[in-house]
Structure 1
Amino acid sequence: MALNYIDEIAARIEATLDPEQRPDDDAWALYRLYALLVLVKGVDVSLEDVHDAWSVWMATINPKHDALVPFSSLDPAKRSEDGPYAQAIAAVARVLNSQSFDGTGAR
């Protein structure tokens, strides 16, 4: 099955993450939000951006999650948990920028 450009980026993000860092839940919607961050923030993605995207996803699957608060309200250890995702998003953005990604699979 051919992936659309959003799902192609989402798949790249998932593949970039260490398997132990991938969410246990069905996270395809989360990876799509992270794909949006690749497109709009690219290598400038922040931990707060990642947390906000995660919060949108979490609000649909567990609206009472204890980390579903503004980034500034999280303790430093909890904030750092967004690091691997920000790194994966930035890494995918760097690759796509270097490949002149056009969203069709063509380079």
Structure 2
Amino acid sequence: MSYLRDDARLIQSHLPPQAQPPEDADALFLIYAVLMRAKGVQVTEVDVHDAWAAWMEARNPEHPALVPFESLDEATQRADLPYVQAIHAAARDRACADRSD
């Protein structure tokens, strides 16, 4: 398993039970892992949406949510928050682990 898959699984482990990731989202979580490594706790809802949009573009280029974050309705915007929080938590865990090495 690669370091990115490890980070992707760490992010997934921090998702709350009510979060419902899309099926077959392994590639999406790899993108989230890259976000985490690049931005850490600075990741925003816009970042998460952009990552999802890149992933969705390859799966369903006609998806109605393939618009800029600001154009989404509030409920759809809020759906990104658990992923942001999971990435932040995973980034903090990874930082603590790196300091203890």
Is the counterpart of residue 18 in structure 1 residue 24 in structure 2?
no
State the Cα RMSD in Å: 1.6
Q: CA deviation at 1:19?
A: 4.3
- Give the letter for the 1:98 counterpart: C
Q: Which runs of 5+ in 2 are unaligned?
A: none
Aligned residue number for residue 42 of structure 1: 40
Moved over 4 A (4+): none
Distance 1:79 1:19 in 2: 18
Q: 1:14·1:22 contact (CA, 8 Å) conserved in 2? A: no
Aligned residue number for residue 100 of structure 1: 98
Q: 1:50·1:85 contact (CA, 8 Å) conserved in 2? A: yes
- TM-score if structure 1 supplies the norm length? 0.87
Distance 1:93 1:13 in 2: 8
Distance 2:95 2:20 in 1: 24
Q: How many residues are paired up?
A: 101
